[in-house]
Amino acid sequence: MIDVKPKFRNLAHRRQHQKALARSRGKDGAVADIEPRELAPGEGESNALPLADAELVQLQIRVIALENVMIAILAKGSDRQLELAREMADYISPRPGFTPHRLTIGAAEEMNSLVGRAARFRRGPQSRRSR
């Protein structure tokens, strides 16, 4: 399922949406209703609200799933596709004269890690056991 950021018709619609997102089900099935914070005057739709713990857990689960799907895809991909993934990691890495950003550096390292993990799957089960 792809989540698309909604466009709100008005402030009341946005608040209703925030309240719906703030609800989360506990293990006992009870719904905890957490009131969203009030919007400051002039606060635009582009400002992101802090994520609730349940939302963060869901994002972590999705990232893990996507990482493993990408490893599977890269493991069956061509050598050129692996090289392209490495080139993209190099492309987003800091270049001389530009400000290095911690998140971009981490993303490039993670991309190279995914390619490396996929390469182990390409070699077969023997190479995975000898880690």
**Domain limits at 20?**
11-49
pLDDT given for residue 97 in this prediction: 87
Same domain, 125 and 65: yes
What gap in Å lies between CA 118 and CA 75, rounded to an integer?
Answer: 4
Same domain, 74 and 35: no
What gap in Å lies between CA 115 and CA 16, rounded to an integer?
Answer: 43
10-residue mean pLDDT profile of the chain (131 residues): values are 54 64 47 52 61 88 96 95 95 88 94 95 66 51
pLDDT given for residue 92 in this prediction: 92
Cα–Cα distances in Å, from 119 out to 58, 63, 102, 105? Answer: 28, 20, 26, 21
pTM (two decimals): 0.54
Same domain, 44 and 65: no
124 found inside a domain: yes
Same domain, 33 and 58: no
Domain count, the chain: 2
What gap in Å lies between CA 61 and CA 71, rounded to an integer?
Answer: 16
pLDDT given for residue 119 in this prediction: 92
